[in-house]
Structure 1
Amino acid sequence: MSNTSTISRGAGRSSAPGRRRDDNPRPARPSGLRPWIIPYLLLIPGLVVIAGLLLYPLFQMIVISFQKVGIAQINGRRPTDWVGWDNYTRILGSEIFWSSLRNTVVFAVVTVTLTLVLGTAVGTLLNKLGRKMSTLVVIGIMSAWAVPPVAQGVIWRWLFDADAGVINWALNLLPDGLSDLLFGRSDWTGEPWLNDAVTVYLVLIVCVVWASFPFIAVSVLAGLKGIPAELYEAARVDGATPWRIFRKITFPLLKPVFAVLTILSIIWDFKVFSQLYVLMNGPTNREAFNLSMFSFAEAFRSPPKMGTGAAIAVILTLLLLVVTAVYVRQIVKTEEM
């Protein structure tokens, strides 16, 4: 009896639900692979692409900036010569570098400000339009943003052409009295807008703002869609003006969006090259150089001095890193306060 009951109890235990070890088996894990390593393994392909496309060229640019690289070195007739800090010393002692730096900074400050203000205004307007009209306007302005930089330069070079430009033709249509009152002259035939450094940058500012503000507007519109409408209704009930509503509700809630857009605009506008190259028809006017154009002229204009051009590019990169770091630091401090 005892043996039979013992066997029966043992059989009962073995057949009881939830008692077997293989009822809920754990997922197999590769031997020797810890879970915390998996995310880093998944990042490796992206890091390899970034290193190949960005970090390696950046490293080569830094190396070349300490070398003398000319036609003889490019053709392989002579080895590259290490010149240390000579390229940087020569650049910092050049008047063209300091005028290029001034042009770069002033242009970036003006263009970033105008782009953000205009883009924010258009984005706010789009948010108030109906769905069909808003979609139509977005398609229209994004067509300008989609135009390649070289094509942008061609369009605005044609508009401001001295002989066949639309701008001179339109200004000549103004009544002489109105034109004299506004501009101090009535005849605009053959006005060479693109020969002077100041007017070249005025055209460049218009060109870049025209092509850049649609991205700002659409980004601001996307941010506005995420703000609850109840906040605006409550503010209107309290009698708040549109400017006060923007300052107290819209701007604080869109600070992260404005932070990213400002950083991107600074980086883009500091590096403007294609539009300026097309407007000036190449590096022809040294007074109108920015750092990108100065780097190109030194590196590729005869006789090529690629070491000097690389040194200018390194300085521009460091300048962008400093400006971006300072701006991000200010944002972080503001958020902490």
Structure 2
Amino acid sequence: MSTLTDTPKAAAPQEKPARRRPRVDRLPYLLLLPSLVIIAVLLLWPLGQVVWMSFHKLNNVRQLRGDREWPWIGLENYVQILSDPFFRTVLRNTVLFAVANVALTMILGTLVGLLLNRLSKRMATFVGSCVMLAWATPALTGTIVWKWIFDDTSGLVTWLFNALPDGLSQALFGRTDWTGYGWFNSPLLFFTILTLVVVWHSFPFIAVSVLAGLKSVPSELHEAARVDGAGPWRVFWKVTFPLLRPVFGILIVLSTIWDFKVFTQQFVLAGGTQDRPTFMLSIYSYAEAFSPPPKYGLGAAIAVILTVILLVVTGFYVRMVLKQEEE
């Protein structure tokens, strides 16, 4: 008689608990909403209006007020600008000016920041406060002062050159009387003075930012490098600069944006929009839009081109900084 063994029944599979979706905290987005609305109203809406204007032919104030229609011309303004040889001259002036000013501002600001980091606390506070006076001075006020310094009759520079011995002045510059000399008539001299004004106004922010970054670098790293025999130059490039690379990246981006958009200083030094050989994109856009006969659509197209250039430069720098952070 065979014995049948009972086969155990397979256990019923247990149902897995349903996964709960992560709860989205909406409070941060609600807190950011007022700021986003303000940015959209104050920045995105005017930018959209400028882009829309660049596709129309606008030669009358009544069109801007809505009393007349805006004739649609598509890309005609952009074609006219990009095919104009003078635009290439203006773009060259802008790029060369921005590159020179960013380099000089970063070098001078970094050197001043390193100096402030080496001074005592009381002296660093005093020197830093004096340096920040240039940053705190409005661009219009500071430029007026610099224009007086280079005035051709009563300016400080004219007085200093007139004070030189006649023989030395004649041997070096080929003239002895500097009264009435037009310091702003030559494009090279004009851009030199403009660079001096912009760098003077911009380097304090770089210096204070570099100083703030230096305070975050552990002093033990510098001491260890000095013990190993590294000099100040090598300590900066091998220890300080790699740690402050993100700071320098942001400062370069900001300086590039500011120097590409220089307007007030150039407008005041040039006395308006008559000196076309020294035009850069900002004042070129203003001159095309508001000089009679006004061409608002053309000026808007130049402003859009300037914005696109700045967005490309900013995107490149941001991507570079993020890539360095990942490495």
Contact 1:67/1:84, CA 8 A, preserved across alignment:
yes
Instruction: Choose the corresponding residue for 1:215, options 195, 205, 213.
Output: 205
Q: 1:57 to 1:170 in 2, by over 3 A?
A: same
Post-superposition Cα deviations, 1:187-210, rounded to whole Å, max 9, x if no partner, equal: 322220112222111111000000
Give me the whole-angstrom Cα distance separating, in 2, the residues matched to 1:142 and 1:114: 17
Is 1:152 aligned with 2:142?
A: yes
Structure 2 gaps, min length 5: 1-22
Contact 1:96/1:287, CA 8 A, preserved across alignment:
no
Alignment correspondent of 2:105 = 115
Alignment correspondent of 2:87 = 97
Q: Kindly provide the amino acid, as one letter, of the partner of residue 37 in structure 1.
A: R
Is 1:124 aligned with 2:114?
A: yes
Is 1:63 aligned with 2:52?
A: yes
Give me the whole-angstrom Cα distance separating, in 1, the residues matched to 2:148 and 2:90: 25
Post-superposition Cα deviations, 1:38-59, rounded to whole Å, max 9, x if no partner, equal: 2211111010000000000000
| TM-score under structure 2 length normalisation | 0.89
Alignment correspondent of 1:229 = 219
Alignment correspondent of 1:26 = none
Local SS of the residue matching 1:304 = coil
- Mapping of 1:256-295 within 5 angstroms? 256-295=246-285
Post-superposition Cα deviations, 1:266-307, rounded to whole Å, max 9, x if no partner, equal: 000000000100001110111111000010001111111100
Alignment correspondent of 2:184 = 194
Instruction: Choose the corresponding residue for 1:321, options 279, 288, 311.
Output: 311
- Deviation for aligned residue 1:36: 2.1
Give me the whole-angstrom Cα distance separating, in 2, the residues matched to 1:192 and 1:184: 15
Q: 1:243 to 1:179 in 2, by over 3 A?
A: farther
Q: Which moved more, 1:43-52 or 1:234-243?
A: 234-243
Give me the whole-angstrom Cα distance separating, in 2, the residues matched to 1:53 and 1:185: 53
Give me the whole-angstrom Cα distance separating, in 2, the residues matched to 1:86 and 1:67: 9
Q: Which moved more, 1:278-287 or 1:185-194?
A: 185-194
Post-superposition Cα deviations, 1:89-117, rounded to whole Å, max 9, x if no partner, equal: 11112222111111110000000000000
Local SS of the residue matching 2:299 = helix
Q: 1:40 to 1:69 in 2, by over 3 A?
A: same
Number of corresponding residues: 304
Contact 1:271/1:292, CA 8 A, preserved across alignment:
yes
Instruction: Choose the corresponding residue for 2:40, options 51, 76, 83.
Output: 51
Alignment correspondent of 2:96 = 106
Is 1:251 aligned with 2:235?
A: no
Q: 1:79 to 1:144 in 2, by over 3 A?
A: same
Identity %: 56
Post-superposition Cα deviations, 1:159-178, rounded to whole Å, max 9, x if no partner, equal: 11112211111122223444
Q: Kindly provide the amino acid, as one letter, of the partner of residue 325 in structure 2.
A: E
Local SS of the residue matching 1:70 = coil
Q: Kindly provide the amino acid, as one letter, of the partner of residue 61 in structure 1.
A: V
Alignment correspondent of 1:239 = 229
- Deviation for aligned residue 1:77: 5.1
- Deviation for aligned residue 1:236: 1.4
Alignment correspondent of 1:73 = 63
Q: Kindly provide the amino acid, as one letter, of the partner of residue 26 in structure 2.
A: I
RMSD: 1.5
Is 1:305 aligned with 2:314?
A: no
Give me the whole-angstrom Cα distance separating, in 1, the residues matched to 2:59 and 2:76: 15
